Each structure stands twice: as C-alpha cells, then as structure tokens.
Amino acid sequence: MSQILEEVLTANAAYASSFDPGELPMPPARHFAILTCMDARLDPAKYAGLSEGDAHVIRNAGGRASDDAIRSLVISYKLLGTREWFVIHHTDCGMETFTDEVMRGLLASSLKTSSVDATGWHDSGDGPGSTEGNYIDWLTIGNNAASVIEDVSRIRDHPLVPNEIPIYGYIYDVRSGELVEVPDATRAGAARN
Ligand SMILES: [Zn+2]
C-alpha cells in the first residue's frame, strides 16, 4: 500500500471513530455555494467558517466558471436550494504561471511532471507526450481581478442562472488568510430584480 493511501485510511478511521452521526440533511443548511481553486493552501471550511452540512464548495484549477462548475452551481440552486454564491480566486495562483500554449507544449513533449524556475516551465522531454492538450481550454489566469470579474459575469449572464442569486467576487490572500473583495465583480454579480 502506498504511504499516502495508508495515511489517508488511518486518518479516516480516526475521523469515523469519533464521527457524530447527527442526521444532516442533503441541502446545505446555510443555503450558499463557493466556487474556488483547488490550491492546497486554501481551506474553504476554515477561511469561510464552514461545518459539515453548511454549504456547497465547488473546486477546480483556478476556481474558474467552467461549464462543469456551472453545472454544479445549477444543481446547487435548482435541486438543493442555495441562494447566494461566491467566486473566490487567490493570490499566487498557479494558473497565473502558464498559458494554453505553454501547457500544450509541455504535454506534447511528455506526460512527466514538468519543473518551473524563474524562466518559466520546462519539460523533461522524456516522451511520449500527446497533442490532446491542444483541444482543452486550460482557463489560465492573466490578471487575477479580471478573471474574477470574468467568471462572475459569465455565471450572472448564464441562461440557467436565476436573476435573484447574488454572486460575490473575492480574492483570498494566501499570505494573510484574508478575503479581499473585487468590487467590480460583486457589482457585476449583483442580483437583478
Ligand atoms: Zn489557484
């Protein structure tokens, strides 16, 4: 068994042994959802004060409003009753360190893990790679505030998203732990009556 697998299963056994089975209902008790980045330094339960059963947390690389993130958000309100949404990107996001072109080149070169230094990303070249990366929009981030505005606006304008759900735009600061509002995003995401 891999060390990680063993660690995870041991941790789970400890968690389950003291688990309070209290019957939590499926719909989030506090009726909101957060779309945020998968970055390991972000813990939405801690930065937003969540307990089990409180809220939906949808995560992907960058916290971007991809079609699949919107799929989850639509299920979140339509079937599970959330009424307010947050889009939360963060400082020092890995998605700011490359472009589609860079990612496609790295993948075409090999499927090994690439390395990064001050001059950018480098691949081992120890192929084979694949050109399948050319068909994926990697949703990289050029400017953090702009990407929050773009994602909030895309969700706001989506035909499956009702006007009355407010969408708030924030950037989490990985150095201070603070959520910093992107006012233009929150404005763009305001409920429309
Ligand atoms: Zn990130």
Band (175; pLDDT cuts 50, 70, 90): very high
Residues 76-105 as b/e (b if ≥16 CB within 10 A, e otherwise) read bbeeeebbbbbbbbbeebebbebeeebbbb
CA of 31 to the centre of ligand 1 (A): 25
Q: What number is the average pLDDT over the span 184-188?
A: 97
pLDDT of residue 23: 87
pLDDT tens track for 34-60:
999 999 999 999 999 999 999 999 999
CA of 155 to the centre of ligand 1 (A): 19
CA of 77 to the centre of ligand 1 (A): 25
CA of 21 to the centre of ligand 1 (A): 33
CA of 17 to the centre of ligand 1 (A): 33
Q: What number is the average pLDDT over the span 109-130?
A: 95
Q: Which of 15-19, 113-117, 148-152, 170-174 has the weakest average pLDDT?
A: 15-19
pLDDT of residue 127: 86
pLDDT of residue 50: 97
Cis? peptide before 162, omega within 30° of 0: no
Q: What number is the average pLDDT over the span 101-130?
A: 96
CA of 178 to the centre of ligand 1 (A): 15
CA of 63 to the centre of ligand 1 (A): 7
CA of 22 to the centre of ligand 1 (A): 33
CA of 18 to the centre of ligand 1 (A): 32
Q: What average pLDDT is seen over the chain?
A: 97
Percent of the chain residues topping a pLDDT of 90: 95
pLDDT of residue 22: 75
pLDDT tens track for 10-34:
999 999 999 887 789 999 999 999 9
CA of 43 to the centre of ligand 1 (A): 12
Measure the CA–CA gap between 137 and 99, rounded to whole angstroms.
10
CA of 25 to the centre of ligand 1 (A): 30
